[in-house]
Structure 1
Amino acid sequence: MDVLLRVLLSLSALAGIHSITTVSQVLVRAGGSITIPCLYESKYTNHVKYLCKGYYWNYCSDAIKTNHKINKRFSISDDKIQKIFTVTIKDLTEEDTDYWCAVEINGGRDERKYFKLSVTTETSSLDISNQEITGSIGSPIAIDCNSGEMKWCRLGRSCLTKSGSIDGTGFTISASVAGGFTVTMSELSKESSGWYWCVKGDLQMPVHITVTENNPYNNGQDATMPVDLNAYIIPLSLLIFIVLVTVFIWFMLKRHKQTKEAASAVTAAEEEITYSTVTHKRNTSSQSSPAESAVDVVYSSVIPMKQQHVPKVEANCENVTYSTLA
């Protein structure tokens, strides 16, 4: 009976150990940041996840939770599809040493897994240039690990110490000149996305691989490749020239239209000329007084006429009429 009880307790302990999987120890530089992945079981998909700070579980304090994310130094996100929540710690100091990945269990003891950060002010002996690496389906990618020991693992899966495959993805491990090693991933697929890490003794350095659809414009290279601006200089110059020519033509047409309208107004004014005829008549009425008879009565008639343009003819002696006034 005692043996059976011990076996049951051992199985329970083992089950608890594998409820959450994460790194054990990471070497980081002071002042920098680190992202830690925590893999959990499917039954905890809708549970609250959190990061607890402290060496002893019973005395650790909550740093951040998925249901309360407001914090300047800590951030947390939960990928419920891959069953991994990640925690990021910024502005690392020598006090950032002991942490726990944890899952809340309502009415029971929370599941947790301890990991240690070794903060140093010197150059890390296990380091990578970037924790986030992106690749394309069907295109290989390479990860440089600054580690003397050639060991490459996937979170929740197996580890490789030489070339091989994990979940259908091929890996080639080769030593580098700098004393570390390079991992080349081939036959990439969507399933290749996930968390991996380099290993050096008891230290690990997590790396997240994201595999996307192949981009035909970068030939499998990183999408962050710098753009060649020289290829855009000629088209841009041509576009600017076309715009300037268009503006110039529009300005000339507008100016021509304004000049034509002004000339039409002057012509219309010249054509509408009014002629008047004034006739002087003497008042001969018998009933008028002598004073009124002496006054001239002026009658006028005003006739508007269009001006007719008559071609000028030079005068000569035959076309001149002479008259004598008496």
Structure 2
Amino acid sequence: DRIIRSLILNLLEFQSNLFSVVSTGAYRVSVKTGGSITIPCRYDLKYKNNVKYLCKVGHLQICSPDVQTDHFKSIDKASISHDINKQTFTVTMTDLGTEDSGRYWCAVEINGGSDVMIERFQLSVTAGTPELYVDQQEVTGVEGGSVIVKCYYRNTGNRKWCKIRDSVQCVWENSGTTEGKSVTLQQTTDATRGNVLTVTISGLKMDSTGWYRCGVGDLMMPVHITVRQQTTTQSTSTMTTTQSPTTEQPSFSPAAEPVQTDNTVQGPEGGKEKDTMR
């Protein structure tokens, strides 16, 4: 038994080292006990039909084989939704406890068994205030308008705002542009909530819809922005994530990814692909 256990531990250490070398985009996310977090995992278009994974590093059963369908594998407390047109699947973890802290990866299966790791992150679940958090992970704005995202944090480090697409584009410390949109970063201090990084994105376009990251040091918090067309009764306005002060991170239901009542996802060629999920 000791020999087998030693071999398993060596294999896990090898997998962990390989995971650190192969995958990209490693960062830390912080969540309060009982809260939730949604992580976007972007993949190459050639993997659109492959099985999608969420795995936890350091356990004998890295990916739970009990939770497997035609397109997804996952672990406890996690669900996966998939938007083929955006080349992204999102992992939502709910009702988190300190035992859920650890290293995770998003991956796709190739060749019937081997994996391509496309995203990795370190999850820290704490009973106190998270190290970096936002009021909500979903923000909505109108075309031509602006949105404001407030990121609350405790630690020091380089502050940045990044757009996640084929390549990650970031604005550091003060101001800049991402894909032609003006981005301003302002650091202030709130008497009750500590350090605040206020991110203002102006000149929204329809293609501004997507996933972003607010970052301080190696801490990141994904935020999804949805841009809607302006109606005749709307005026160009600024939307903000501000709501009743709380350090809880609420459950996330991205408006940009509506529930498919017929359990199908529209493919890029107009066909439908069945996504059976548990």
Q: TM-score range by the shorter chain?
A: 0.5 to 0.7
Count how many residue pairs are aligned between Structure 1 and Structure 2. Answer: 208
Instruction: Work out which of the residue numbers 115, 118, 124 in structure 1 matches 2:121.
Output: 115
Instruction: Work out which of the residue numbers 202, 207, 220 in structure 2 matches 1:204.
Output: 220
Q: Is 2:87 the partner of 1:83?
A: yes
1:8-28 Cα shifts (integer Å, max 9, x gaps): xxxxx99x846xx55521011
Q: Is 2:134 the partner of 1:125?
A: no
Partner of 1:230: none
The alignment partner of 1:47 has SS state of coil
- Relative contact order, CA 8 A, sep 6+: which one is greater? 2
1:231-269 Cα shifts (integer Å, max 9, x gaps): xxxxxxxxxxxxxxxxxxxxxxxxxxxxxxxxxxxxxxx
Q: Is 2:216 the partner of 1:213?
A: no
- C-alpha distance 53-133 of structure 1, shift in aligned 2 (>3 A): same
Q: Is 2:44 the partner of 1:41?
A: yes
Partner of 2:77: 73
The alignment partner of 1:151 has SS state of strand
Identical positions, percent: 42
Task: Give distance in 1, aligned partners of 2:227 and 2:199.
Answer: 16
Q: Which has the higher helix share?
A: 1
Task: Give distance in 2, aligned partners of 1:92 and 1:23.
Answer: 20
Q: Mark the runs of 5 or more structure 2 residues left unpaired by the alignment.
A: 1-17, 242-278
Partner of 1:60: 62
Q: Is 2:204 the partner of 1:188?
A: yes
Task: Report deviation, 1:211.
Answer: 0.8
1:132-164 Cα shifts (integer Å, max 9, x gaps): 001110011111111354211122412111211
Task: Give distance in 2, aligned partners of 1:109 and 1:126.
Answer: 34
The CA RMSD over aligned residues, in Å, is: 2.9
Q: Which has the higher strand share?
A: 2
1:88-113 Cα shifts (integer Å, max 9, x gaps): 00000111123220101124521124
- Asked if the contact 2:64–2:73 (Cα under 8 Å) also holds between the matched residues in 1, the reply is no
Partner of 1:324: none
Task: Give distance in 2, aligned partners of 1:214 and 1:168.
Answer: 19
Task: Report deviation, 1:72.
Answer: 7.8
Compare 161-170 and 215-224 and name the one that shifted more.
215-224
Task: Give distance in 1, aligned partners of 2:74 and 2:44.
Answer: 26
- C-alpha distance 23-205 of structure 1, shift in aligned 2 (>3 A): farther
Match for 2:222: what amino acid? P
- Asked if the contact 2:52–2:72 (Cα under 8 Å) also holds between the matched residues in 1, the reply is no
Q: Mark the runs of 5 or more structure 1 residues left unpaired by the alignment.
A: 1-12, 225-326
Calculate the TM-score normalised by the size of structure 2. Answer: 0.66
Q: Is 2:108 the partner of 1:92?
A: no
Partner of 2:171: 160
Calculate the TM-score normalised by the size of structure 1. Answer: 0.57
Task: Report deviation, 1:40.
Answer: 0.8
